[in-house]
Structure 1
């Protein structure tokens, strides 16, 4: 069970969302805010990319220089190559935004950023989902992949609330909380969210603290919290991670929590996105209670609860 001790790296946020929900508007809003010298990776300009009015020129490497000093990679090349191309420049960005297209799966992108090679320079700061408050229920009914996308989000921008009725907004927020109790939700119109609410979330970092989440589920996505008193046995923890989490990438979307493992003087922060996971020593001393939030579909909750209890050191 290797532990990562990582230096300061460039934060990366992944922005995904439903078609027409206001995802590109959000990216343009963040860029125009000048909150950072951003590096933006998008598929193309126009309807699914950066506002063309912000672009001053595109160099021979395919890097667009924006009027506010930000940089944008316009190519469809390998993501790792695009990341390192942005930060190899003299005027390198101090924050990177990756805009997904349509209902693209955020997991391959998250896995790339969490890969040990990329983690030398970058850290996954958060996954931001954008949803249309008026049409969320219909969208989830028509495309269940939308629920899966929301399940990975660390923050959800519930947009177009000015065009929805109070009942629609409340219902949409309730659906999001059922799908993903870990996510912070911001109600907004025209994707106008304070950048401070979306950036530097450190959702995959050591400062995260679990809360007491209800056992919520929908026909497509479910979530529950596992707890265990006392210290856990290291070998049993490794076996649990392998058998119940990373070996089930189509069933377990995300898992995150603090584990009190025998042999360590500090708690261990575990987090996974499908089969990619990390274990890092937290700052606080080891405590008696271990807590792990699991989000997935088709999971046998009693089976997980029994297996988690069996991790206790004898």
Structure 2
């Protein structure tokens, strides 16, 4: 791979999520045996299912398989952070990191690991891919928190096994998914075969992509300014609620971090705001989409204050505001 194509900041990371049987392992095998000259490290919970072509296999260590194309496959030890460090420090030159979540998992903890201070300067979260088995996925899956979270966090939804169902069923699924995640990028595939440029190093995590990525799809952009009125028609139909919060005192940064991972935030799908932390002289611009969030800084040009708008489903505005009050620095 030409060095000029490598990202300027940190190794790109793609997280692959999806229910059991959706095709995650097939996709991983497809990526590992690719011939795009991309040196990939794949982190999995166990090797069991990975069917590496034996001709590709160079060596098997305790928790690492090395392949002749320069890729490696690594089992996640007890600590994801440790495993990532192990790959980053390995003698093998790796261009790209792919992490598979377990089929029943909520991807949030893994996403947060890559956004943590320990990793965010070393890696760049490129995208979250969610695989869906078109044959076996039914709207009742949406009653499962994990399935719902996987779709809400997914930057790209891969509808797999479309060869096993009718076009009508595929369209129904696409409609269901779009209801939950407006503006979702949905790609169809068979056997998890998808051109890798469509899913790797696509920089979907770029903060500029958030508006298209979440609730604010194109017909929704005019909602930016007056969230109290503009959102009402669109949000009430879907059961979404918009909550705003303002205060003239700074937050404590640790308390705010805890607030973001609090259970109450599980139903907040989109948030944005300007934050003032007691520990910092800078203005923080906050963006949250699904469970991915970004904090960028700039100098204050206006009086310091906290302003936040959150959009979610079945959320209590009073509870959210009370939790935010608790974040205020005392």
TM over 0.5, shorter chain: yes
Provide TM-score, normalisation by structure 1.
Answer: 0.73
1:157, 1:188 within 8 Å by CA — same for their partners in 2? yes
* Structure 1 residues 81 and 94: alpha-carbon distance in aligned structure 2, compared to 1, 3 A threshold: same
Q: CA deviation at 1:76?
A: 3.0
Cα distance in 1 for partners of 2:57, 2:258 equals 50
Unaligned runs of 5+ in 1: 1-6, 306-314
Cα distance in 2 for partners of 1:116, 1:65 equals 29
How many residues are aligned here? 287
- Counterpart residue number, 1:195: 196
- Counterpart residue number, 1:298: 314
Cα offsets for 1:106-137 (capped at 9, x unmatched): 11111111110111311221111100112221
5 Å matches for 1:1-314? Answer: 8-35=9-36, 36-47=38-49, 49=50, 51=52, 53=54, 56-58=57-59, 60=61, 62-137=63-138, 140=141, 143-211=144-212, 212-213=216-217, 215=234, 235=249, 242=256, 246=260, 248-253=262-267, 255-256=269-270, 259=273, 268-271=285-288, 277-281=293-297, 294-295=311-312, 297-300=313-316
Higher relative contact order (CA 8 A, sep 6+): 1
Q: CA deviation at 1:303?
A: 9.6
Q: CA deviation at 1:225?
A: 7.0
Unaligned runs of 5+ in 2: 1-7, 221-233, 322-330
Cα distance in 1 for partners of 2:250, 2:182 equals 27
1:41, 1:97 within 8 Å by CA — same for their partners in 2? yes
* Structure 1 residues 46 and 281: alpha-carbon distance in aligned structure 2, compared to 1, 3 A threshold: same
- Counterpart residue number, 1:311: none
1:154, 1:182 within 8 Å by CA — same for their partners in 2? no
- The answer to which of 64-73 and 54-63 deviates more is 54-63
* Structure 1 residues 302 and 185: alpha-carbon distance in aligned structure 2, compared to 1, 3 A threshold: farther
Cα offsets for 1:173-225 (capped at 9, x unmatched): 11111222253110111112121221223233333251433647999xx6567
* Structure 1 residues 300 and 257: alpha-carbon distance in aligned structure 2, compared to 1, 3 A threshold: closer
SS at match of 2:113: helix
- The answer to which of 142-151 and 112-121 deviates more is 142-151
Cα distance in 2 for partners of 1:266, 1:63 equals 43
1:107, 1:273 within 8 Å by CA — same for their partners in 2? no
Cα distance in 1 for partners of 2:24, 2:113 equals 21
2:268, 2:315 within 8 Å by CA — same for their partners in 1? no
* Structure 1 residues 255 and 248: alpha-carbon distance in aligned structure 2, compared to 1, 3 A threshold: same
Cα distance in 1 for partners of 2:257, 2:78 equals 34
* Structure 1 residues 53 and 17: alpha-carbon distance in aligned structure 2, compared to 1, 3 A threshold: farther
SS at match of 2:138: helix
* Structure 1 residues 142 and 246: alpha-carbon distance in aligned structure 2, compared to 1, 3 A threshold: closer
* Structure 1 residues 272 and 301: alpha-carbon distance in aligned structure 2, compared to 1, 3 A threshold: same
Cα distance in 1 for partners of 2:152, 2:195 equals 23
* Structure 1 residues 303 and 166: alpha-carbon distance in aligned structure 2, compared to 1, 3 A threshold: farther
SS at match of 1:16: strand
SS at match of 1:41: strand
SS at match of 1:65: strand
2:267, 2:314 within 8 Å by CA — same for their partners in 1? no
2:275, 2:286 within 8 Å by CA — same for their partners in 1? no
1:179, 1:223 within 8 Å by CA — same for their partners in 2? no
Provide TM-score, normalisation by structure 2.
Answer: 0.70
2:42, 2:98 within 8 Å by CA — same for their partners in 1? yes
Q: CA deviation at 1:250?
A: 4.5
Cα offsets for 1:131-185 (capped at 9, x unmatched): 0112221660674431222111111101111111122101111111122225311
